[in-house]
Structure 1
């Protein structure tokens, strides 16, 4: 709900501060007093285009501040603001501020946090509905009719959206599988040849490193063969060094007891025999490890060359050839199994589509039932509003499958006919200005219990009517104000008399300077203003008496 509106330096308004309460607030004044300026100021605060022409002559900038009740933390407005990093403290009012400079440019703030005009406009649409003579938003725009009907029906399209997303996911999965299958079929010959080639070669993980190490070792052995053989020859045979050491040790053992030094010499010689034996064993092992086998070397080099050639052919590292073979075998198997997989996905797609259609048809039934109730409710409001020849109908039209979506399979639009026998047509294309406002009022009354913006502004909804019709409009506005805060610009005393609060818009001229002011009227002020609306510039006692009768009927 709008709590207050503060305007500074907009056209004829120098400074204006208004406080609003719940219920129906009416704004009256003579033609040209400045009601449009007030609505333009409100539009600026709600994100309309910032026109530098709004700035009062001689001023640098104009500014509007609108204060609203604290939004419910769970409301769509609060969630939208949070999603756009606008912080709202729980229980604190929502304050919108918009300024426009005389030389162009504007700034917008929500609770002192800067925001774009687009964000402000979206937030404003959730806070206030403005219905005027040339309004093309809200109830007139068919894009919002579906949501209004769903709200009236108490239906939630969430299940339909979920089913639609499941259907689309299944469709994407099948399309991808078909594309994969087609690509695999094109690769079948290549895969079969590659799998056969790699299977025959049988690459092993880590094989390149092992072959390269063994090859390097064998090539070292080729260089060291001569030296190793010469060294080993010094150990081998009866005349070899190790045999000589052992013979010397046996002779020394026989005479070692004859002198202590001989015993020490024997110990040293025994150790030498042991060390020499170990050296011989190590030399033999080294010779085996470094053994040069020309055939084995040739085989290793051939294997290593082919391994690396296959890796280059398939543009992979030699280490991953074994994994590549496994992957290719899997892809080749998938081609053969592709038909069965596609059938499974096709069955899943058909099931997902059937689930979506079932959910959408159930939603359609709820909409059709609600549409009948809404048509009846609106029809009941038309006759008292001097629209007894008019017809209202909620169109629910099946969409082509290509246009099905998360909100169902229906196109929904409010249609009217204002003359007997005339065909039904879109709301905004048939009704005249006054008729359009009354149609909107009838719709709003019918939809009053189903929520919407907390504040609704009607600009001259009573244009072109008077008497009983104006009284009927006033009664319906009063009824609607029980569900939402209403601000109504009116020229009708019958409507003005229904207000819970009454504001008078007045323009004054001092020399060459014109100013627009708005004042909240007390009881006597209301009586005098309604009498003026009844009689004109010269307020008569009879007009005051008639004003009293209108006010007593509230």
Structure 2
């Protein structure tokens, strides 16, 4: 449940710290005091879109933090564990919005994107707004409510997976069937290009080898000449050859070493140098002998390199990329040339997948029919207690008129209401009375909330348009929801406020020309004063206070 929320510089709130308890908590106050702003701040902490307008005028940033206790939130605990964000049995969420609109989020101290915050928020709090009846007029929202009430997540996932598979197969079929004259031309082009690349037959390492051979052939005359000169300096010079000089030096140092042992290490170095020089002479002679000035081979290598460069320019790629290009074009050609056989296989897959989709959709339809009956009875029972004693709510499920593959199944779902005896059931959007629509919407919200697995329910003036004895019944319904967890209710109705276990009063105050919102916890005495104010009248009389006290006392019973 929501344990506390801290708000800084959000809208007209400069600084606000509020703690919450389990059960039903009411927030009341004059219009414009900031009750719904508190709900807006909660929406922000749950991943709603950040807006620079939310930052209090003159402030650099707005900040909202909330602490949740997760005793009754297994889905949230599981999500946190999956993301390695679990921290004992609590969750701390922080959201900061800068004055230019940029926002940052933290979950248990770890920076996270708003998308992840929304995923977690859906497992912590369910907010029912005062305009919920507007969304309930949409067929898609009605379908979603039936599925949520019936707990159809697994059946929906099966239909969606079958739909995705079938759509992918049909897309592949369409791509093949679109291969007409343009496709045939593509095949002709690919055949020519592949044959040209195959004729070139460029090996994986051939280009590097050709370039190295070209450099060697182009420099063959210099390599032979300079190599021979080096050989002469080392061994073949009549006077002063390096080998002769080293031999003389070795003999001299050898004589010296016989007299002075200090020359012994030097003798070893000179002897080693002469041996290495001899090895260099042998290697140099062998390599120079292998060098050959071959104009014919040089022309062949140049022509081969030119062919490679020409084909690379033609395909607008680097020469080294030609082998990969050849493989890629060959694969494309194989795919196009084998399209006929693949098309036959795909059509067999399509038939099988279509059957699987309709089986999954039929299973979902059966579940929806059962849930629709239960949902209709549950909502009918509530609306009859809300001043519509003859009201009859039902859910009509019919096969969709279209034949499109839809991830949500093949059903058209429509909410119907017969408000008075003798009236036929009509679609919910055709209900003329705003008061009736508000009561029906509230009944739907209450029933939907009984199936939610979210520990905290927020009702933001969902009782608009309701009064009298009906309002007291509404309050009882909201209190019943709070007994199973936590419900927060923003209301203007004293009948609803009297039912709460906890009562918070929201008020505006002006200091130094600045307006801000404050929240006060009401004790037994101040609560009576607030309910009396909500009952109406410019001046509170003893009779009004007695009425308020009686309402609160009767709610306890």
1:171 is paired with a residue whose SS is helix
1:492 matched to 2:496? The reply is no
Where do residues 47-446 of structure 1 align in structure 2 (5 Å cutoff)?
Answer: 47=44, 50=51, 52=53, 55=56, 61-70=61-70, 75=75, 79=79, 87-89=85-87, 91-99=89-97, 101=99, 104-105=100-101, 107-111=103-107, 112-114=109-111, 124=121, 127-135=124-132, 139=136, 142-155=139-152, 156=154, 157-178=156-177, 342-388=343-389, 390-399=391-400, 403-416=404-417, 421=423, 424-426=426-428, 430=431, 435-446=436-447
Change (3 A) 1:73 1:389: closer
Q: Is the 8 A contact 1:160 1:406 kept in 2?
A: yes
Structure 1, gaps ≥5 residues long:
210-304, 317-323
1:481 is paired with a residue whose SS is helix
Change (3 A) 1:404 1:94: farther
TM-score (norm 2): 0.63
Counterpart Cα distance in 2 of 1:330 and 1:133: 59
Change (3 A) 1:529 1:405: same
1:46 is paired with a residue whose SS is helix
Query: Which residue of 1 is the match for residue 216 of structure 2?
Result: none
CA shift, 1:382, in A, is 0.5
Query: Which residue of 1 is the match for residue 24 of structure 2?
Result: 24
1:76-109 Cα offsets, whole Å, 9 max, x none, are 79649977xx9454533132334454xx535342
Counterpart Cα distance in 2 of 1:361 and 1:424: 26
Q: Is the 8 A contact 2:163 2:407 kept in 1?
A: yes
Change (3 A) 1:485 1:196: closer
CA shift, 1:385, in A, is 1.0
Change (3 A) 1:90 1:508: closer
Counterpart Cα distance in 2 of 1:81 and 1:109: 18
How many residues align structurally?
Answer: 461
CA shift, 1:138, in A, is 6.6
Query: Which residue of 1 is the match for residue 541 of structure 2?
Result: 538
Query: Which residue of 2 is the match for residue 478 of structure 1?
Result: 479
Change (3 A) 1:94 1:439: farther
9-18 or 443-452, larger mean C-alpha shift = 9-18
1:153-211 Cα offsets, whole Å, 9 max, x none, are 232222222222332233244345545697786689999999999xxx9x9x9xxx9xx
1:495 is paired with a residue whose SS is helix
Query: Which residue of 2 is the match for residue 237 of structure 1?
Result: none
1:8 is paired with a residue whose SS is strand
1:366-389 Cα offsets, whole Å, 9 max, x none, are 112211221121111111112346
Query: Which residue of 1 is the match for residue 460 of structure 2?
Result: 459
TM-score (norm 1): 0.63
CA shift, 1:15, in A, is 3.2
1:149 is paired with a residue whose SS is helix
1:496-524 Cα offsets, whole Å, 9 max, x none, are 22212122234456796665432222334
Q: Is the 8 A contact 2:63 2:94 kept in 1?
A: no
Counterpart Cα distance in 2 of 1:134 and 1:472: 20
| Larger-Rg structure | 1
Counterpart Cα distance in 2 of 1:480 and 1:342: 56
The Cα RMSD (Å) is 5.5
Change (3 A) 1:349 1:459: closer
Counterpart Cα distance in 1 of 2:22 and 2:2: 9
CA shift, 1:360, in A, is 1.0
1:550 matched to 2:554? The reply is yes
Change (3 A) 1:175 1:90: farther
CA shift, 1:424, in A, is 3.2
Q: Is the 8 A contact 1:445 1:479 kept in 2?
A: no
1:404 is paired with a residue whose SS is coil
Change (3 A) 1:143 1:184: closer
Counterpart Cα distance in 1 of 2:195 and 2:478: 85
Change (3 A) 1:432 1:14: farther
Structure 2, gaps ≥5 residues long:
204-208, 210-302, 316-324
